[in-house]
Structure 1
């Protein structure tokens, strides 16, 4: 899991954003990438620009210090943007391998509902988005499930790979919620394409039964409502990986039932989008934005 694109995290001074920064630091280390701490000043919600900029620098310093004090060895940079937080974070995500935010922030109050920025970012970001929910630190020996939602679309291949990477990073087992039955693996023909998702999952399940899997995998049929899994499985308390094309599942997670099920958990959500070809940039051309370094 290596890339030159940075991992970015939205920082707003809240405890949730500090925890998101720590979570994002692990992602940056796994990718051998830089971690960018990004604060967005919303001119529509402030009266004093100078005070807002000072608050932004203070919040970034706190997040920087938290990551440094954690002992996570990752290169850090900071960035202050101005505009609507969700729009600006979505735009800066174009230059990132992953954009992370806390599940709630300092501006989650009237007129905006709780988690409004994270929900908007999930809809708008052009790449992978992580909505991080961490209430407290868990012992390093307490490994929880990584859960991935799979169907037979082409998008499921990068989604499964992302989930396997996350499971390997956290030394956790993987639970696949599939749109097909895995109770009796189908016969695989000689001409089955190597990227057939059902065949790939069957191989992972077989390797797990044989004891040769680097990441243990099990599978269950995907319920009609993902809230059912969240409510019935207390062990699913680490990360839920979903493809951006599964808007039905993403919408379920934003409903009150799923919110209630997630409220007392540490279950973060990773939305995966299939990578697009990188745009070529002329040698020596300037970057589109500058970072404010500490």
Structure 2
């Protein structure tokens, strides 16, 4: 991905989306790139388009003010689109470094389930997606909370681990790598050829064991990946800052954006970063689920 690629954030007028914008502003500043605020007006769900557009401008101003008040020195751009929010945000994210959305939105009511926009974008967006959960508007996440990365026998794990290390370096946090081979249960997506899976495991073990790969300020630990990551979240209050997974791990995307995870994460600052490698994007610019 181009280092100058922008960070996008979906704005819908909800408090959760403003908090996502603040989180995204930190990411854009760390990457020295533009932050784009994108609001999607859905004609199918509004009675008056002009009124909806006015509401969109108001929501963008609110997010912009929050970012400015937080002293985030980042270049801001904004855009109002028309159409289905999930599809429009996914298409807008083509060429972006990251798409950020709040874990719930202002339209969390029938016919969409709570958090439906966020969970669907985590599955189909052509770039990495951060589903942001933040309890307060302007206070930063507490330091020394774990960045958790799921590392399996697939090549995508290199990208996942690097993303976790980058976030850990940025936030001054330790990394907990949950590995699928620690307990002898390989992930089913690993190549049936044991030599292939073994090569990836050996490569990842070497990476984890070699301090030259790590920032001097980043501490890393490993544990076996549990069968249900939401159970780990429920019993471990310290895992509260960021959970990093591959977009190809549909099982984990489902777990971490589902109802059980939402209950486990209620009242926490734990966001979900779904990492997508650039070579997984389809010809139409949106990666199929």
Retained in 2: the 8 A contact 1:8–1:99? yes
Seen in structure 2, the aligned counterparts of structure 1 residues 95 and 193 have a Cα distance that, compared at 3 Å, is closer
Hey, what's the Cα distance between the residues in 1 that align with 2:22 and 2:120?
Answer: 22
Q: For the structure 1 residues 194 and 30, does the alpha-carbon distance in structure 2 shift closer, same or farther, using more than 3 Å as the test?
A: farther
Unmatched runs of 5 consecutive residues or more in structure 2 = 184-198, 282-289
Equivalent positions of 1:86-235 (< 5 A) are: 86-136=86-136, 142-181=143-182, 196-204=203-211, 213-235=216-238
Distance 2:259 2:219 in 1: 32
More displaced 10-residue stretch of structure 1: 91-100 or 258-267? 258-267
Alignment partner, residue 273 of structure 1: 276
250-259 vs 103-112, greater mean Cα deviation: 250-259
Alpha-carbon shift at residue 197 of structure 1 (Å) = 1.4
User: Which residue number corresponds to residue 283 of structure 1?
Assistant: none
Deviations 1:157-198 (A, max 9, x none): 01100000000110000000001229xxxxxxxxx8998112
What is the rounded CA distance, in whole Å, between the counterparts of 1:89 and 1:143 in structure 2? 32
Indicate if the aligned counterparts of 1:207 and 1:213 stay in contact, CA closer than 8 A: no
The SS at the match of 2:210 is: helix
Preserved contact between residue 155 and residue 200 of structure 2 (Cα < 8 Å):
no
| Residues in 2 aligned to 1:257 and 1:77: alpha-carbon distance in whole angstroms | 36
Alpha-carbon contact 1:2-1:33 (below 8 Å) kept: no
Count of aligned pairs: 266
Change (3 A) 1:83 1:245: same
CA contact (8 A) 2:2 2:97 kept: no
Counterparts of 2:200 and 2:151, CA distance in 1: 18
Structure exhibiting the larger radius of gyration computed from Cα positions: 1
Q: CA deviation at 1:232?
A: 1.3
Instruction: Report the counterpart of residue 63 of structure 2 in structure 1.
Output: 63
1:11-54 Cα shifts (integer Å, max 9, x gaps): 01110000000000010011110000000000000111110110
Do 2:153 and 2:201's aligned partners in 1 also have CA atoms closer than 8 Å?
Answer: no
Measured against aligned partners, the alpha-carbon deviations of 1:106-134 in whole angstroms (never above 9, x if no partner) come to 00012211001101111110110000000
1:2/1:32 contact within 8 Å kept? no
Aligned to 1:44: 44
Structure 1 spans left out of the alignment, 5+ residues: 183-191, 279-294
SS in 1 for 2:9: strand
- Which runs of structure 2 are paired with 1:13-24 in the superposition (5 Å)? 13-24=13-24
> 2: CA distance between counterparts of 1:27 and 1:107?
25
3-state DSSP of counterpart to 1:276 = helix
CA–CA separation in structure 2 for the residues paired with 1:258 and 1:16: 17
1:239 and 1:2 map into 2 onto residues whose CA distance is 24
Q: Distance in 1 between matches of 2:32 and 2:86?
A: 26
Kindly indicate whether the alpha-carbon contact (under 8 Å) linking 2:11 and 2:18 is maintained by their aligned counterparts in 1. Answer: yes
Partner of 2:257: 254
Assess, with a 3 A threshold, how the Cα gap between structure 1 residues 174 and 130 changes in structure 2: closer, same or farther: same
Q: Measure the CA separation in 1 of the matches of 2:213 and 2:99.
A: 32
**RMSD of the alignment, in Å?**
2.4
